[in-house]
Chains A and B, each alone.
Chain A
Amino acid sequence: MASVFHDSMESIQARIISLALQDILPSNVLILKRLRDVESDLPANPKYPCILIGPVGSETLNPNAGTNLRDEIVYPINVAMLDIDNQDQEANFDRNLLWRERIRRKLNNCRFEDVPEVVRVTVQPGTIVDPQMFDNNKYASVLGIQVTSREDRIA
Chain B
Amino acid sequence: MTNYQGDYSDDWEWWDNTEPVTITIKRANSSNPIPAGATTTNISISDAFRGDIDSKLTEYSGIDIASVDQIWSVPTALVGANRIEVGDILTDGDGVVWAIANATEVTIGTSSLYWTLATNKRATN
Contact surface of A with B, Cβ cutoff 8 Å: 34-39, 45-48, 52, 56-57, 78, 80, 82, 84-87, 89-90, 126-127, 130, 132-133, 135-138, 140, 142
**Is B53 among interface residues, defined by CB-CB distance under 8 A?**
no
Given A135-B99, A137-B67, also A87-B87 (CB < 8 A): yes
What DSSP secondary structure best describes chain B's contact surface? strand
**Is B120 among interface residues, defined by CB-CB distance under 8 A?**
yes
Contacts of B60 in A (CB 8 A): 127, 130, 132-133, 140, 142
Give chain B's interface residue range (CB within 8 Å of chain A): 20 to 34
Contact surface of B with A, Cβ cutoff 8 Å: 35-36, 57-58, 60-67, 86-87, 97, 99, 101, 120-125
Report the minimum CB–CB distance from B94 to chain A (whole Å): 17
Decide if B125 touches A138 in the complex (CB within 8 Å). no
Residue in A57, A84, A142 whose CB lies within 8 Å of B123? A84
Interface centre among B36, B67, B86, B97 (most CB of A within 10 A): B67
